[in-house]
Chains A and B, each alone.
Chain A
Amino acid sequence: MNSPFPHINLSHLTIDDCISIFHTEDRGLLEELAQAARDLTHQYFGGAIGLYAPLYISNYCTNRCTYCGFQAHSDLTRRKLTLDEIDRECRALAGTGIRNCLILTGESSYHSPPSYIREAIIVAGRHFPNVSLEVYPLTTDEYRGLYHAGADGVTLYQETYDRKRYDELHISGPKKDYAYRIEAPERIAKAGFRHISMGALLGLTDWREDIPKLFSHIRYLERKYPGIEYTLSFPRIRPVAKDSQHYFEVSDRDMVKIICTGRLLFPRAGINLSTRENSEFRDRIIQFGITRMSAGSLTSVGGYIDRNTHEQEGQFEVHDQRSLKEIKSMLMSKGYDPVVTDWRNIVNQ
């Protein structure tokens, strides 16, 4: 078969190759890409899929981001868990079998300062051997404090690498500072963390331009901080109420191209699959390179104790509502090995 892209070598893919891959509708190339990504994932990860669950501890937020269900001016009930409530949420979540917990907060230096996040990590550490964070960008010293408290990973999405678009979508609040956010992964690395999870919110701008910039960002970090395990995430935007912004479409085919190029460029990196995707699509694309997914996710504050809260107030709509047990048996039936325990905190120093 004559490939229309003789210059693309899938076993030595470069970030520059992404442009032609992202713009082509060539079915042959898409299939070759998918097979190469599947084989490489199998070689380096076997059937292992790491499972975790988010834990929302506070939804106070001073940012206004057009696309977010938690944004400051919505009429959402604001809530912050006390340490006792965090303890109970952790107990409920750990009781479902989850061993890896991702603590999330909105950005509010008053309601959820680093000291509060630190206390939450210590409480969560009593229930989970593996605690990670998805919180607003901090200084190196603040990050270091959280690493020492027992957190091992940080998730931070740049959202978009298009500065102008970033400015339009982030109407007000500290998040408006593009540079402070884009430099945060380096501060996380310097603070000592083991894992950094990065991503772009697909659809905010033309993903064909955003994704290569995300890849270059990770490649830069990988060279400078090789000891860190990197994970890539590709959440697709889901429209929320009262948002009049126009977003770019990201089709299922596009998603496959993005995941597969991510795998080929970063053979040993983690790739995370969002619960924003519906279960049918999730089940299909796991094989193209996914190594991590959340299971039994609730995106509201206090949702694991009080399931009713969750009905109305999640940050975004979870399209895959299956429990940990259901996700595990789905994975096993497809020949995957669900990994619930994948780290033991060893006293970070």
Chain B
Amino acid sequence: MEDLFVIGGKTLKSRFFLGTGKFESKEAMRQAIIRSGAQVVTVALRRIDLEQTEENILSFIPEEIVLMVNTSGARNAQEAIRIARIAREAGYGNWVKIEVINDSRYLLPDNQETIKATEVLSAEGFVVLPYMHPDLYAAKALAKAGAAAIMPLGSLIGSNQGLKMKTLIEVLIEEIEEIPIIVDAGIGRPSHAAEAMEMGADAVLVNTAVAAAKDPVLMACAFAGGVEAGRMAFLAGPGHVRTTASASSPLTGFLFNE
């Protein structure tokens, strides 16, 4: 049986989402999308030339790919809402990744403003995927506000540091059952992506680690493979990590006349 998952009414096979920034060339980006089998990509509205006077980034994204416009540059809920509406009016679908960042040094998301934007946009019929700091209360509020999934950060954007937020993301995976969890930001190696999937994340979004690799196309494939392996391991049910060898039972052995 195929392992599919659904977001915003779309049934997806690939759990590897790709960001489109920082690529050396638009052609490399296109190849990375095609070869990795990614089905969802995110593009910043700020980078789309709506008047189409220059070579347009969108013409390098294959038609069957789900476009998730992001609100990069928004500093509060109001601005994120305006950007999302511009994107929809311009005909870029109704999937929006909300990024509300009011911190140019670390680029950390503002959960409170993100929740406000999610409430408004999901009421307007958008499929809302908010980028967030992995906080349980915020995650619950986002689910209640109508988010189609939540996207907690693994570590600081662009840092390649991996799952520094591991414990908190595990809490979200354990507690948030109503919507998928997509780990976004900071994933630097395919092994990080595999680890997130083994933990039970529903998908992983990567940008920098692919775009800034020496061979971005090959790296995109490596990530897709890592995501798939991690997902299979999760489904297979990995054994618990034990601190002692399982043969010895110093505490309970007496119950078995050992």
A-contact bits for B49-72, CB 8 A (1 contact / 0 none): 111011000000000000000000
B211: Cβ under 8 A from any A Cβ: yes
Q: Which of A97, A99, A226, A336 contacts B24 (CB 8 A)?
A: A336
Task: Please determine whether B104 and A230 come into contact, CB atoms closer than 8 angstroms.
Answer: yes
Task: Please determine whether A337 and B25 come into contact, CB atoms closer than 8 angstroms.
Answer: yes
Task: Please determine whether B78 and A226 come into contact, CB atoms closer than 8 angstroms.
Answer: no
Task: Please determine whether B22 and A48 come into contact, CB atoms closer than 8 angstroms.
Answer: yes
For chain B, which range describes its interface: under 10, 10 to 19, 20 to 34, or 35 or more residues? 20 to 34
**In the complex, A269→B157 CA distance in Å?**
14
Task: Please determine whether B73 and A45 come into contact, CB atoms closer than 8 angstroms.
Answer: no
Q: Most chain-A Cβ atoms within 10 A of its Cβ — which of B26, B51, B107?
A: B51
Given A99-B49, A341-B54: A227 touches B21 (CB 8 Å cut-off): no
**In the complex, A222→B103 CA distance in Å?**
9
With a CB–CB cut-off of 8 A, which chain B residues contact A47?
Answer: 22-25
- Tell me, rounded to whole Å, the shortest Cβ–Cβ distance linking A95 to chain B: 9
Task: Please determine whether B104 and A269 come into contact, CB atoms closer than 8 angstroms.
Answer: yes
B102 nearest in chain A by CB position:
A227
Give A26-63 interface residues, CB cut-off 8 Å to B.
42-48
**In the complex, A347→B86 CA distance in Å?**
11
With a CB–CB cut-off of 8 A, which chain B residues contact A336?
Answer: 24
Q: List 30 A-B contacts (CB under 8 A).
A: A42-B212, A43-B158, A43-B160, A46-B22, A46-B24, A46-B211, A47-B24, A99-B53, A194-B73, A194-B75, A222-B104, A222-B105, A226-B103, A226-B104, A227-B75, A230-B104, A266-B105, A268-B158, A269-B104, A335-B24, A337-B22, A339-B47, A340-B54, A343-B46, A344-B46, A344-B50, A344-B83, A344-B86, A346-B79, A347-B82
A: residues with CB less than 8 A from B are: 42-48, 94, 97, 99, 129, 194, 222, 226-230, 266, 268-269, 332, 335-337, 339-344, 346-347, 349
B: residues with CB less than 8 A from A are: 21-26, 45-51, 53-54, 73, 75, 78-79, 82-83, 86, 101-105, 107, 158, 160, 208, 211-212
| Known interface pairs A194-B75, A227-B101; 17 further A-B residue pairs with C-beta atoms within 8 A, sorted by A's residue number | A43-B158, A47-B22, A47-B24, A48-B22, A99-B49, A226-B103, A226-B105, A227-B102, A229-B104, A269-B104, A335-B24, A340-B54, A341-B47, A342-B47, A344-B46, A346-B86, A347-B82
